[in-house]
Amino acid sequence: MKNTTLLLFVCVISFTSWSQEIKRKKDDIDVKVSELLSKMSVEEKIGQMTQITVTNFEQKGNPGVIDAEKLKEGIQTYHIGSILNVPNPGAPTVAKWKEVMTTISNEANKTRLKIPVLYGIDAIHGASYTAGATLFPQQIGLAATFNPNLVKRGAEISAYETRASSIPWVFSPDLDFPRNPAWSRIWESFGEDPYLSSRMAVALVDGFENNSFGSKYQVASCMKHYLGYGSTTTGKDRTPSIIPERILRQYDLTIYEAAIKAGAKSVMVSSGEINGTPVHASKHLLTDILKNELGFSGVVVTDWKDIIYLYTRHKVAETNRDAVRIAVMAGIDMSMVPEDFSFYTDLLDLVNKGEVPMSRIDDAVSRILRMKYELNLFENSVANAKDYPKFGSPEHIQEAYNTAAESITLLKNKDAVLPLNKSEKILVTGPTSNSMKYLNGGWSYTWQGENSDVYAADKFTILEAFQNKLGKENVLYTSGADFAKEDDAEIEKAVALAKQASKIVLCLGEKNYTETPGDISNLFMSDSQIKLALALAKLNKPIVLVLNEGRPRLISDFEDKMNAVVQCYLPGNEGARALVDILYGDVNPSGRLPYNYPRYPNSLEKYNRKYTESISEGEQNNDAKYEKSYYPQFEFGTGLSYTTFTYSNLKIDKTEINDADEINVSVEVTNSGAKAGKETVLLYLTDNFASITPEVKTLKRFEKISLEPKETKTVSFVLKQKDLQFVNNDLKWISEKGTFTIQVSNLNKDFLLKK
């Protein structure tokens, strides 16, 4: 007991000292910001708020080469504070990035105040715009791991390799809360649950920033896309949303609040509009809620051209100048203009004529300068490669492999067709089976990820991973189908080869995409792929369906004919190796589905649905024949293993509580099978009756554990008062007296909240 007390005392002292040091550094930076701001002209201040794409500074006809005069104009004449994007043709080496950043830094050092340029990049699953970097699964795959510690470690590696590229700012994490599975950016999110998204958001922010000041191994994170971006009515990118504020507060906003508390230094604003107001024009969302209510003190940056779009697309501004005024007064600190200097020119005119007060400019610039000081850019803005010996190292690659392995989700395993037998000959077929583009998806080396096969030529496609494990002589292959074009000859070839194989691995999914190029009008898997699946199914041979997709494309036309279904999402450069190791049982799958996988295009209910979305047989009128309203292909949280887990002895420490109590929950989990495995323990809560219609169940806690065969572990959770609350029509978080039900696996316990 004495040793424990001493250790606790030392930990408290250490934490207190650390907190005091952080406060001292913040205070020191605030002094520096004030001093520098007092020296700046209005032109220099507005320049800091201006962000331009690096391709604007390239030589005409000579992509990737910086034009010295163009750069001089941007930095010396317009005083630009930030540059983003990747030089043509994409994905420079670390050495090339250093060359580009040195050129930019040298020009900035020629200015009167020598304020460094802040460079930002869409490094969203590793340093994905640097050749040779370690690429992790995309965010939807990170969510499927249900392992925040693994996700945090991946973010640390991503920060390390991005800083090795001399880039201090990443436009990640994506905290969008998608409500329509057709949306083209589902895979950039953490799925459909706000609690899971919040936990993963904190993991990424912690990994990127580590609450550090001046570390050459950390980057500034950028939450995006604030707010409601993933909830378009049409399911198409950058189209309008209709979301009551009560809903925004109960779901979307909680994710951003968690990331802000974790220390996220910046936020990117949604390109969409909510209830008729573009978010870039909403003072209520950007200033009243984000800055004032949530206390966000970081930088608010626009997305690509979005101030311009207030005029040209949304039509809430009659001129570009008016758009600039609206956005800046709403709370925008930095404009991703990004291809001209119109923002600078218009804002300067607005300030000079008194239409935008200097107080708003000083607030924005202070935020930008503070982030630059926190990143230590005034001392060093160009990396030394010698400081980053682990860039693209085997150690980092292993972490990417581990993450991919824990993300891949086994959804179906009829008659235990998996694991496969290494002595059997197999057919690998399908349009996603032999390309790195479909493993990585968009934002990989280039915007749409179309060059992944070139940049990741040394990595294994799914086919190559099979060949590497079994030998080419044991793996039959043909593409079988294109994503869109129907090819009967290819299907016939696949059928003929399948007759020579013991089992079929059918790799279906989507092409690489992101944003508007990924918009679709049909959520079903493409006709060409469905036709291939049905043709192979006629052979009555075991088929393992491997899904390699950014969103859940409907498979109900043929899923019943598949013996196994494995969801890979977009697992990154090491995904194929992890997949094949899982299919042969060298790795036990442990991923869980982070969204409901719908069965039909007009039945898109979320797992935490309302009771009216899941009418039971007993409620149906005898004279009516209703289609089952809640019938997903696979439900949120689904994830099978090659072993079995048994839950028992669910306990709660109180059956009645008041509105100040916490509840301690424990459950025993036993690996009752014969193979070691990882299990995610999910705790759901149901408010049985409430004045705002309650959800059937809501995820409140989870923990991933490892268990050897026959091993038992006790998993404990603490539920707090906030877990019992919802947002009422007065936009207040409240709880109401009544009975709540805790559910863990097939076990449940009730408790009463007294008022």
Three-state SS at 533: helix
Our answer to whether residue 322 is catalytic in this structure is no
- Torsions phi, psi of 186, nearest 5? -50, -45
Q: Which of 123, 82, 276, 243 has the alpha carbon at shortest distance from 176?
A: 243
Residue 65 structure tokens? 């080469």
Upper half-sphere CA count for residue 555 (Cβ side, 13 Å): 29
Helix 575-583 / helix 394-407 crossing angle, nearest 10 deg: 50
Q: Which of 478, 474, 481 has the alpha carbon at shortest distance from 426?
A: 474
Question: Of 303, 306, 687, 723, which residue is the catalytic one?
Answer: 303
Q: Which residues contact 87 (CB under 8 A, 6 or more apart)?
A: 54, 55, 58, 63, 64, 66, 96, 100
Residue 537 structure tokens? 């199914």
Q: How far is CA 121 from CA 351, 429, 439, in A?
A: 30, 36, 21
Q: How far is CA 457 from CA 132, 247, 302, 451, in A?
A: 10, 45, 35, 10
CB 578 within 8 A of CB 401: yes
Task: Say which residue the tokens 């149901």 belong to.
Answer: 686
Give, as one character, the DSSP assignment of residue 448: S
Find the Cα–Cα–Cα–Cα dihedral 647, 651, 656, 658, rounded to 10°.
-90
Find the Cα–Cα–Cα–Cα dihedral 319, 322, 324, 329, rounded to 10°.
-160
Q: What is the DSSP string of 382-422?
A: S--GGG-TTTT-HHHHHHHHHHHHHH-EEEEEGGG--SPPT
CA distance 453 to 294: 43
CB 589 within 8 A of CB 582: yes
| Active-site residue list | 303
